[in-house]
C-alpha cells in the first residue's frame, strides 16, 4: 500500500501566523515552493498560504505585504492528511476539496507536503487525468 508518507516531499516548513507576507514570499523563494502551511503559536496547522494568495489577497488590493500577516489570509478549515493515509484517502481529500497541495502530518507535526508534481510521479495517466479534472473543475 502506498501511503502519504511515501509520496510526499519532505522538508516542508511552516510560516508562523504572525509572520508578514513579505517574509512568507522570501521563504517561498528560498524553498522554491508556491505554498506554505501556516502554523499557530503551538505549531498546529491553521491554514495554507499560496503565492497567489499574496498577490490577489494583498498586493492587488493595494495592501503592503510587510504589514499583513500570514494568519490574516488564512481562511476556512485547513485540510491535511496523516502520513499513514493510503493513496485513495489522499486523492479523496484533494479531489473532494479541490486542493492542489496537501500538508502531511505525523504525531501532530508537519512532516511533508503532497503537490501535483508528487502525484504525477505516483499515479497512472488515467488516475492523474481524473485528479486534474476534479481538482481544476469549477465548483
| Choice between 21 and 136, residue whose per-residue pLDDT is larger | 21
> What mean pLDDT comes out for the span 121-131?
91
Q: What is the pTM (predicted TM-score) of this model?
A: 0.86
What band does 83 get if pLDDT is binned at 50, 70 and 90? very high
> What mean pLDDT comes out for the span 12-30?
95
> What mean pLDDT comes out for the span 52-75?
94
| Domain of 104, in residue numbers | 4-136
pLDDT over 90 at 137, yes or no: no
pLDDT over 90 at 104, yes or no: yes
> Per the structure, how many domains does the chain have?
1
CATH number at residue 9: 3.10.580.10
Three-class SS string for the chain?
A: CCEHHHHCECCCCCEECCCEHHHHHHHHHHHCCCEEEEECCCCCEEEEEEHHHHHHHCHHHCCCCCCCEHHHHCCCCCCCEECCCEHHHHHHHHHHCCCCEEEEEECCEEEEEEEHHHHHCCCCHHHHHHHHHHHHCCC
Amino acid at each position: 500500500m502506498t501511503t502519504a508518507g511515501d509520496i510526499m516531499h519532505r522538508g516542508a516548513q511552516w510560516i508562523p501566523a504572525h509572520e508578514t507576507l513579505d517574509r512568507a514570499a522570501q521563504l517561498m523563494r528560498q524553498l522554491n515552493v508556491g505554498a506554505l502551511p501556516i502554523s499557530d503559536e503551538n505549531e498546529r496547522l491553521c491554514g495554507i498560504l499560496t503565492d497567489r494568495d499574496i498577490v490577489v489577497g494583498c498586493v492587488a488590493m493595494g495592501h503592503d505585504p510587510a504589514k499583513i500577516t500570514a494568519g490574516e489570509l488564512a481562511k476556512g478549515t485547513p485540510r491535511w492528511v496523516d502520513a499513514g493515509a493510503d493513496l485513495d484517502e489522499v486523492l479523496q481529500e484533494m479531489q473532494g476539496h479541490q486542493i492542489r497541495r496537501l500538508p502531511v502530518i505525523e504525531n501532530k507535526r508537519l512532516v511533508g507536503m503532497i503537490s501535483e508534481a508528487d502525484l504525477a510521479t505516483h499515479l497512472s495517466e488515467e488516475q492523474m487525468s481524473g485528479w486534474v479534472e476534479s481538482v481544476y473543475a469549477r465548483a
